[in-house]
Each structure stands twice: as structure tokens, then as C-alpha cells.
Chain A
């Protein structure tokens, strides 16, 4: 099962390692010891928020401002839990850790792939989450500790995240086989890009969900088919 979980999360490794290194590199310019990048990977574990943190730390931002900015930057994650309510059982502390580790990439994998036959679901999800976070922590640490001395050129490796989401989009299409959610998401993305490019993810996800629910409430055909 460990091998299966490693194999499933390997695409996340390719995405998190260069992104983590990029964060670490940026972070060490602040002058703090490298292990604080490790600590941030362990405790915060959110890519965009950690990049934002570098700017906030450099500016000496206030605590309230930091709390609000972080919450809004990550607030799309609220919708991720909605899709996994039935996937997570009453698994105690392990469940809390799964919720803590629900990043874009982990959510995308969990909501698309099936747990391998014969695998224990809570254990498999737990391994997926802890492996993914380990990759992130490794990247953050490497970047802050040895970033400038790295021999291996990771330039372009960040494309792994785009490739991962593209592959999972194809898998979602194979699973769902109905065009409406994809079309709605494209329309919502376009509107969000035009109006709220800064917070595109949050607005596009909220908007598409609202549009989908409105259609379900008002259109008999949508209600029957979806």
C-alpha cells in the first residue's frame, strides 16, 4: 500500500519539490535560519500563503492583516471539504490531519482517483496526505538550506502542477460525461478573470457553484439529468 500511495502521489512530488524550493529560496533572503522554512512547511502547508508570507514578513505586516489575508487567499478550500464529506469517515485524529492537509493537489487527487482495490481507505488517504506534505517540507527545506548551491536545474518542473490538473480534468470528464459543469466553470473562469483577476480562484469556484445550484433549482431538465 505504501508503494501504491507513493505512486499515486508522485505527480505531487514533481509539483511540490520545485515550488517548495522556490519558496525556500525566497524565504532565506529574509535572513531567518533555514529551519523556519521547514517549520512553515510543517505548520502552514499552503503554497500561495507561504509565498505571500515572505512579502508580509518583509513588510512587517500586522497580525490581523495577516490573518485576514491568509484566510481569504485560502478560502476556496472551504469548497473542497464539501466534495469530500462522504469520502472521509469518523477516523478521529487521522481525519483531522486529512482535513489539515487538504491542498489543491491533494483534493484534486482524492476527488478523482479511486482507492486501489483491497487498500484500507483511511490508511491510503493518510499516506497520500503525509507523503504529499513530506514533498512540500522537503522542497521548502532544500530551497532555504541549499537553494543557491543546488546542482540540479528544476526550471520548468513547475509544469507538473499544470499537467496534474489537466490529467485529472480528463479523468473528471471520463467520470462525469456531461458537459454542463465544465461549460459553467469556463464561463465562471472568464468572468472571474475579467472582474477579479487577483482572486480568480475563489470567485470562479464560488460563481460556478452558485450558477450550478441556480440551474438545478430553476431548470427541470438539469434537475432530471444531473
Chain B
């Protein structure tokens, strides 16, 4: 336990994290109307969202009970969203389903 070391590590990690979020705003400030940047702005979100979903699902062991629970919870999430299109409702429904299955509420 070394408080001084911890303070420096926190300072370094804060700066390094901010350094990954700041560059586009500095490098391209005022050039957001450029056609290529608009193209990137439009198609990055759908690609990132697809990749984030794959990323979240990749660590699930599909041969275990948890994989089965995750599949059920995912179906509940998607089904609820297609049915009501209420983001909060879909997320709560899917999460509660998963928690109920994993914790064995039934």
C-alpha cells in the first residue's frame, strides 16, 4: 500500500483516458461538414453497436446453462423492443429475466 504511487497512477490513467476521447474534437474542430467526416459520423454508430453486441456476447459459454439463460434474456429484450419500442422497458425486461434465471428465482 503506497498512497503516493496510487495518486500518480490515478493521475496518469485519467490523463491517458482523456487523451483517447479528446483528439477528434481538437483535430477536426470546425470541419464536421466535410463529406467524408459526415459519412464516418453516420456509419460509425451502427458498426460500433454491432461490434459492442458481439463483444458482450463473445465471453458467454454457450454450452453452459448461462449461455442458455443469455439466449433467453436476449430474445426477451429483442421481443419486448419490437413489441413496444420502449428502450427502458426492453432493457429492464431482459435484465430481470437474466437475473431471475441466473439467481434461480423460480
Complex CA distance for A155 and B31, rounded to whole angstroms: 45
Q: Judge whether A80 and B6 touch: CB under 8 Å.
A: no
Q: Which residues of A contact B1 (CB under 8 A)?
A: 30-32
* Contacting residue for A39 out of B10, B29, B36, B37, CB 8 A: B10
Q: Judge whether B52 and A63 touch: CB under 8 Å.
A: no
* Number of interface residues, chain B, beta carbon within 8 A: 70
**Taking the complex as formed, is A184 at the interface, i.e. its CB lies under 8 A from any CB of chain B?**
yes
Q: Which residues of B contact A31 (CB under 8 A)?
A: 1
Q: How far is the CB of B17 from the nearest CB of chain A, in Å?
A: 5
Identify the A interface with B (CB < 8 A).
7, 10-11, 14, 30-32, 36, 39-40, 43-46, 49-50, 53, 56-57, 60, 63, 66-68, 70-71, 74-86, 88, 95, 99-100, 102, 104, 107-108, 111-113, 153, 155-157, 159-173, 175-176, 181-182, 184-186, 188-189, 193, 200-201, 204-205, 208-209, 212-213, 216, 226
Identify the B interface with A (CB < 8 A).
1, 3, 5-6, 8-25, 28-29, 31-33, 36-58, 70, 73-74, 77-78, 81-82, 87-88, 90-92, 94-95, 98-103
